[in-house]
Structure 1
Amino acid sequence: MSAVEKAIVILKKNGYKYTDKREQMLSIFVNEDRYLTAKEVHLLLKESYPTISYDTIYRNLYSFVKVDILEETELNGEKMFRFGCMHQGHHHHFICTSCGMTENIQMCPMDFFKEQLSGCEIESHRFEIFGKCKECSDINNL
């Protein structure tokens, strides 16, 4: 079963109906394999669905986040979304600030912070590193 098919099953289990637009949105995230803004998704979908509204895109993105299909982060005050890492164990990401490419980081810094926060109950955490990937760094250094 493909990642998009698995995501559609998750949507249906959570009471969301199948639509071609939702499937196309999910396919965009699988094919791009990077963080995207709602604006980028809107531009990519407008080719197939010229009348699709920005609000529809945003509502669906947040529905996908709510059921753990998409992950979200924020960069420079703008929300960004990517297909969730469904199959992988606990990990974090390096995110390119130019192209949105992500790379998994298997090491987790929480052991260090647990020692620093003795007596505290940590409920969750997120660790992301932002910078330029090799390709974007090479372009900027030409």
Structure 2
Amino acid sequence: MAQPVSTLTLNERSTGNNGASSVMGEKEIFHHHIQRAGLKRTAQRDLILDVFLGTDEHLSSEDLYRLVQEKDPTIGQTTVYRTLKLMTEAGIAREVRFGDGKTRYERNSKLPHHHHMICVECGHTIEFLSSELEAIQNEIAAKYRFEPKQHSLRIFGLCADCRDRAPARHNLETVEPRVRLSLARAHK
């Protein structure tokens, strides 16, 4: 059965039994990566890394920049963007796209492979795990002798709060065109 694992609350999962060691491991990975790349460890990069690791949100580079600015307004947007790119290259962050044209990033190590449900009204995102979906994927791949390298499942709809609001006017402009078309057909 699919189980929700997050409704995006800060630090909920990173404070568990291995939360501190996970963050330390991610920091070590990052520092090793920048050293291999011939770059220096700086206080600015460390702060950006700490801010990123301190949230479980799906952050755009602009979101991360705003959070970093709250801690140190002298850090520029280019520094944040480049550090986020380094974190992605190091495998600490991974890109996620929810069909609204924005690239967001999440911690690569925070969860095993998971999926997203995205509210088309308010943008709220729920992450969930499903062994059943993984089993179906593996079964289909085996049937076609296909070796999947990665996959992504995004379910667009209405969260409980937006669904319960009346009258509901659904914002389909934030959804990819092909998803928008199928949602529009469903509303007819």
Structure-2-length-normalised TM-score: 0.59
Query: How far off its partner does 1:68 sit?
Result: 1.0
Identity %: 23
One-letter amino acid of the structure 2 residue matched with residue 25 of structure 1: I
What RMSD, in angstroms, separates the aligned Cα atoms of the two structures?
A: 2.8
- Match status 1:128 vs 2:154: yes
Q: Does the aligned pair in 1 maintain the 2:69–2:75 contact within 8 Å?
A: yes
Q: Deviations over 1:61-115 (max 9, x none)?
A: 12111111012112311100111225x54x2222545455442313324225315
The structure with the largest alpha-carbon Rg is 2
Return 5+ residue gaps in structure 2 as ranges. 1-19, 167-188
Which one is further off, 56-65 or 45-54? 45-54
Give distance in 2, aligned partners of 1:94 and 1:18: 34
Q: How does 1:6-85 map to 2 (within 5 A)?
A: 6-16=25-35, 17-75=40-98, 76-85=100-109
Q: Does the aligned pair in 2 maintain the 1:35–1:100 contact within 8 Å?
A: no
Give distance in 1, aligned partners of 2:71 and 2:123: 23
Tell me the matched-pair count.
137
Return 5+ residue gaps in structure 1 as ranges. none
Distance 1:63 1:113, change over 3 A: farther
The match for 2:162 is 137
Give distance in 2, aligned partners of 1:18 and 1:101: 33
More strand by proportion, 1 or 2?
Answer: 1
Structure-1-length-normalised TM-score: 0.74
> Which protein, 1 or 2, shows the higher relative CO under an 8 Å CA cutoff with sep ≥ 6?
2
